[in-house]
Structure 1
Amino acid sequence: MAAELERFLSRLNAEIRDEADWGMVATYIPELAEVDPQQFGIAVVTADGAIATAGDAERRFSIQSISKVFSLACVLGRIGDQIWARVGREPSGARFDSILLLEREQGRPRNPFINAGAIVTTDELLTGRTPRDALSEIVGFLRAAAEDDDIHIDKSVAASEAESGFRNVALANYLKSYGNLNNPPQMTLGTYFHQCAIEMTCVQLALAGRAIAGLPGAPSVVSAVKARRLNALMMLCGHYDGSGDFAFRVGLPGKSGVGGGILLIAPGRASVAIWSPGLNAYGNSKAGTVAAERLAAHMGWSVFA
């Protein structure tokens, strides 16, 4: 299967580049605004341990909101189901940075993958610890999951987010006003911005997703029960107000980031990382979503099959 998958990924890479339907990069984060949208990479790790790649699979990119999956995994490992007293588990049906939704629901974010929910998750990981310790746990989790120590935070991206993240500042202050932030807003936000600025390659990210996919031989960084819950949340909430469309088209759990990455999980079968920095109207990778749909259809991967 590995050789056939390599051939398919090569064709897919050529199709994406020929179609050149790239979308627009995230211009509201100055560092990401400078990224060339005409890039595409994909890496697939299958249950037999094989790795198939195409395109820019070894190029580093800012994983942004994909980090929310791994920070949540850290929090679930630390305090378990207590986190659900602070954040819900329902799709938002609204933009990832919606202030109106947070106000309407009196400071309890709808799910941990919208920005407000992720800020709460980061705040919980930070409570009683220094930002350095909290970030070390997230980066350490990713390094252990990918079995690769060459995973780092891009400080220039973190600084760029801190300079331009006014909506996140508003969300953090709303959370604090409702008593749902344990730490000073600026401390939590600084940690959150650095978390989102973790950079990885598609190969590293696909390897890190093995435990969530339940692949044989994956590092024991998350229990099977917690992996199942992460997959459920990724399916329902992983693409913000585009989650239903993504589930309809792809049929697999996934988590996007405005850096253009997608972590795609075929439970028991494969972990997939896709990167193309141009975004669609939902703020998800435009070419990456097309690639995910075609890969899932070609391989017959779906949780609904």
Structure 2
Amino acid sequence: MNIHRSSELDGIQDILDEIAAAMASRTDRGKAAGYIPELACVDTGQFAIAVAGVDGQVFCGGDVGTPFSIQSVSKVFTLTLALGKLGDTIWSRVGREPSGNAFNSIMQLEHEKGRPRNPFINAGAITVADLILAGHAPREAIGEIIRFVRFLADDETIAIDEKVARSELDHGDRNASLAHFMRSFGRLDNPVDHVLGVYFHHCALAMTCRQLAVSGLYLAAGGMNPMTGTRVISAERARRINALMLTCGHYDGSGEFAYRVGLPGKSGVGGAILAVAPGKAAIAVWSPGLDPVGNSKLGAEALEMLAQRTGWSVFGA
């Protein structure tokens, strides 16, 4: 006798429609990132959400056809790529602890002699970019990152927004300071301008919410990409990346996000958040207005609503 088993995603479309309608009515939407001119002019009235289930279903709400700069969400993908190339040796170069400071802080870096606290703060991601570069030309390293993200999303149309990359290059003095500081401690192997070129370009990857959610599915499905049936990483590595996302993915707002949402997540100053419900789905939200610590204001609120309505949480129902 066949027994119908309800899907974890039953009713998700109704929930997403409800969330999108609730977000459309919000008046306090945060402020777009002002220090990157190409991001500062993005309309904060936009909102999108997508849920990609491990069973291959994808549900969307809001402005899901609009591409945006994923910014620091890309650090999840570059970390995955670096681990695949170098394994756990990367942890000699970057730590795995929450920072408790702003994402671009230099104070902690000085105290710890140029070794970044984790791979998701800017200094840590710059170090990961240095590892991926590994003596190659920046163009080759950037191409490798683009190919990897296209592989994850199963979508060859994903590309870098060159205007955003140029805007970051032209206004990246703080990140240049971090890189030169680490170089002074012997923490970077490649020329600073090469490393920053790779870093700024991968932060300028442009994706839609649907593409981003599908790209994160391997973290929800034990290292597999259920859309293509290919293994991206081991299940153990997926669990460990998720752990880092939970503890470090929202910078000095990581504890608050874990408390309110209860899922691993990685934010970016473009207004995107990629969240993972292990064994269930990958979720992408986007709203360009940021809260005071640089995370999407409506994105976090939407994920909190989603977690409440689905019961998804790594801490139990």
Query: Into which bin does the TM-score normalised by the smaller protein fall?
Result: over 0.9
Say which structure is richer in helix. 1
- Correspondences of 1:121-140 after superposition (within 5 Å): 121-140=128-147
Q: What TM-score do you get using the length of structure 1 for normalisation?
A: 0.98
5+ long unaligned stretches in structure 1: none
User: How far apart are the structure 2 equivalents of 1:45 and 1:169?
Assistant: 36
User: How far apart are the structure 1 equivalents of 2:85 and 2:304?
Assistant: 35
SS at match of 1:19: coil
Paired position in structure 1 for 2:69 = 62
Give identity over the alignment, percent: 55
Is the 1:144–1:221 contact (alpha carbons within 8 Å) kept by the matching residues of 2?
no
Give the CA deviation at 1:128.
2.0
User: How far apart are the structure 2 equivalents of 1:69 and 1:60?
Assistant: 18
After TM superposition, the structure 1 stretch with the greater mean CA deviation from structure 2, 201-210 or 211-220, is 211-220
Paired position in structure 1 for 2:256 = 245
Give the CA deviation at 1:187.
0.8
Aligned length: 305
Task: Specify which of 293, 302, 305 is matched with residue 282 of structure 1.
Answer: 293
Paired position in structure 1 for 2:273 = 262
5+ long unaligned stretches in structure 2: 1-6
Task: Specify which of 69, 72, 81 is matched with residue 74 of structure 1.
Answer: 81
User: How far apart are the structure 2 equivalents of 1:4 and 1:229?
Assistant: 30
Q: Work out whether 1:143 is the aligned partner of 2:150.
A: yes
Paired position in structure 1 for 2:181 = 174
Give the CA deviation at 1:3.
5.8
Q: Work out whether 1:202 is the aligned partner of 2:209.
A: yes
User: How far apart are the structure 1 equivalents of 2:85 and 2:94?
Assistant: 16
Q: Work out whether 1:235 is the aligned partner of 2:242.
A: no
Q: What TM-score do you get using the length of structure 2 for normalisation?
A: 0.94
Paired position in structure 2 for 1:115 = 122
User: How far apart are the structure 2 equivalents of 1:264 and 1:228?
Assistant: 13
Deviations 1:224-262 (A, max 9, x none): 121111101000000000000000000000000000000
What's the Cα RMSD here? Answer: 1.1
SS at match of 1:251: coil
User: How far apart are the structure 2 equivalents of 1:59 and 1:285?
Assistant: 16
Paired position in structure 1 for 2:4 = none
Residue 232 of structure 1 aligns with an amino acid whose one-letter code is A
Residue 45 of structure 1 aligns with an amino acid whose one-letter code is A
